[in-house]
Structure 1
Amino acid sequence: MRLRTFLRGARDELPLLIAVMPFGVIYGVTALEAGLTKFQAQSMSYIIFGGSSQFVASKLFAESIPWSVITLTVVMVNLRHMLYSASVAPYLKELPFGWKALLSYLLTDEAYAVVISYYQKEREERYDHMYFLGAGLILWLTWQMSTAMGIFLGKMLPSDWPLDFFLPLTFIAILVPSLNNYPSIIAALTAGICSMLFFGFPYKLGLIAAALVGMTGGFVLDLRRSRS
């Protein structure tokens, strides 16, 4: 039962890996172009294991943005993980601390999208953490390998390959299935519109501002609905 649940999690994660692999390759290439060493670039994937935050940090590093701004930006980009944690916590509350620590490390966008769908539908309560482990672990392995490909083989890839196309594709694949209620749709639309309006903000802070406006709009709307 444990192995079956683990393999099911890995299997359900597979469709998202199609977009994750090019994303990892792009990060590897971008990190080197930003001035990071191969060791530093790969270490970011081991330690942080957060594609969007690694990508943003590399871009800001390349533009010689102050470290304080880079750190703040990465923190703001990763604030969504607090929401992910709050969402899955009720399903993991009986686990020992060691399991919680491991799964929290594996809790990224793509893993969350698969895991929360499983938890909200059908579950094998005794071994549902194995589903989480399967989805998160195959994602982790894919991210490390694709990052390494970008670092060591990136310059060998044809320049006309549209790898940039996979960046928005990754997040569209994650976002669309989660837009299942009015507040989430409004939050996504608001953030998307604001990201274009705030594009010219200094230090690339338009992304942070757009995310905050979108989250605030969705939260306020959800709060009004709950009170009515």
Structure 2
Amino acid sequence: MGTVPPDLLDGVRDAAPLHLGLVPFGLVAGVAAVEQGLSVLHAIGFSSIVFAGASQLAMIELLGADAPLAIVIGTAVMVNLRMMMYSASIAPYFRKFATRSKTLASYLLTDQAYALSIARYDHDTGTDRLAYYIGVAASLWVVWQSSTIAGAFLGESLPPEWGFEFAAPLVFLALLVPTLKDRASTASGLTGGVVAVAVVVAGVPFHADIMIAAVVGVAVGLFVDSRGGAA
């Protein structure tokens, strides 16, 4: 029996603080699915196939409102368009991997897995990239699936005063704050946050706030960097 790659264990350890924030987020997704009429088995299958918290909640909300299937699917695609940017950014690090490894990596890709992996790759060139990525991404997958399953079974028995709705923002803030290391990244992050709120307030449909904020935030970050804004 072979030993576990140390970089895989590093990935699990680095992702561990995020697991705590992911649990209530997953519970909310599981509860929401059942509340909108999905069976427990449907909720579990939905979470396993989609594996994307923000789009899962958006799709569940639309399904509960009897929205047309095309709108439900279109919204999920719009919310997850940011994954295309993540894929383009991380692809050069995975170029030499086998097709099946890259296929698995694409399924496991999340905001958290991308952020932690890119940070590791940029600072440690000796990392076993696939092992580290799987350590992060697979551990996040296990926690997410376990949490959504628990939420689906518990249903409405979870007390609303526990404030689970704050779980998702806290998870993303935990990822964002350490990356704000210079003027360009800070300008990008702040602009993205302001634009996202503005888009939501303006009532732009299909949950387009994520993609619009990402594009504008990246553009501002590149502009600041080109003007010598990096520290």
Give TM-score scaled by structure 1 length. Answer: 0.87
The 8 Å contact of residues 183 and 221 in structure 1, kept in 2 or not, is answered as yes
Partner residue in 2 for 1:101:
103
The 8 Å contact of residues 195 and 207 in structure 1, kept in 2 or not, is answered as no
Q: CA deviation at 1:154?
A: 3.1
Partner residue in 1 for 2:67:
65
What's the CA shift string for 1:71-111, capped at 9, x where partnerless?
22211111111111122111111111111111111111111
Matched, 1:32 2:34: yes
Letter in 2 for 1:205: P
Letter in 1 for 2:28: I
Seen in structure 2, the aligned counterparts of structure 1 residues 209 and 5 have a Cα distance that, compared at 3 Å, is closer
Identity %: 37
The 8 Å contact of residues 192 and 213 in structure 2, kept in 1 or not, is answered as yes
What's the CA shift string for 1:134-189, capped at 9, x where partnerless?
11111111111000010001333233211112121111112222333444433433
- Greater mean alpha carbon deviation, residues 192-201 or residues 48-57: 192-201
Q: CA deviation at 1:224?
A: 7.3
2:82 to 77, 80, 83: 80
- Greater mean alpha carbon deviation, residues 145-154 or residues 84-93: 84-93
Q: CA deviation at 1:227?
A: 8.3
Matched, 1:115 2:110: no
Partner residue in 2 for 1:185:
186
Partner residue in 2 for 1:160:
161
- Greater mean alpha carbon deviation, residues 10-19 or residues 54-63: 54-63
What's the CA shift string for 1:47-82, capped at 9, x where partnerless?
111111111111122222222222222111111111
What's the CA shift string for 1:101-123, capped at 9, x where partnerless?
11111111111121111111114
Seen in structure 2, the aligned counterparts of structure 1 residues 61 and 188 have a Cα distance that, compared at 3 Å, is farther
- Greater mean alpha carbon deviation, residues 209-218 or residues 15-24: 209-218
Q: How does 1:17-28 map to 2 (within 5 A)?
A: 17-28=19-30
Matched, 1:212 2:212: yes
- Greater mean alpha carbon deviation, residues 153-162 or residues 140-149: 153-162
Seen in structure 2, the aligned counterparts of structure 1 residues 210 and 27 have a Cα distance that, compared at 3 Å, is closer
Seen in structure 2, the aligned counterparts of structure 1 residues 210 and 119 have a Cα distance that, compared at 3 Å, is closer
- Greater mean alpha carbon deviation, residues 210-219 or residues 57-66: 210-219
SS in 2 for 1:198: helix
SS in 2 for 1:199: helix
Letter in 2 for 1:164: E
Q: Unmatched 5+ residue regions in structure 2?
A: none
Letter in 1 for 2:37: G
Q: Unmatched 5+ residue regions in structure 1?
A: none
- Greater mean alpha carbon deviation, residues 79-88 or residues 193-202: 193-202
Seen in structure 2, the aligned counterparts of structure 1 residues 100 and 222 have a Cα distance that, compared at 3 Å, is same
- Greater mean alpha carbon deviation, residues 3-12 or residues 214-223: 214-223
CA distance in 2: counterparts of 1:139 and 1:210, whole angstroms:
21
Aligned-residue Cα RMSD (Å) equals 2.4
Q: CA deviation at 1:5?
A: 1.4
SS in 2 for 1:160: helix
Seen in structure 2, the aligned counterparts of structure 1 residues 138 and 223 have a Cα distance that, compared at 3 Å, is same
Q: CA deviation at 1:214?
A: 4.8
CA distance in 2: counterparts of 1:197 and 1:133, whole angstroms:
36
CA distance in 2: counterparts of 1:210 and 1:158, whole angstroms:
29
Partner residue in 2 for 1:3:
5
The 8 Å contact of residues 27 and 55 in structure 1, kept in 2 or not, is answered as yes
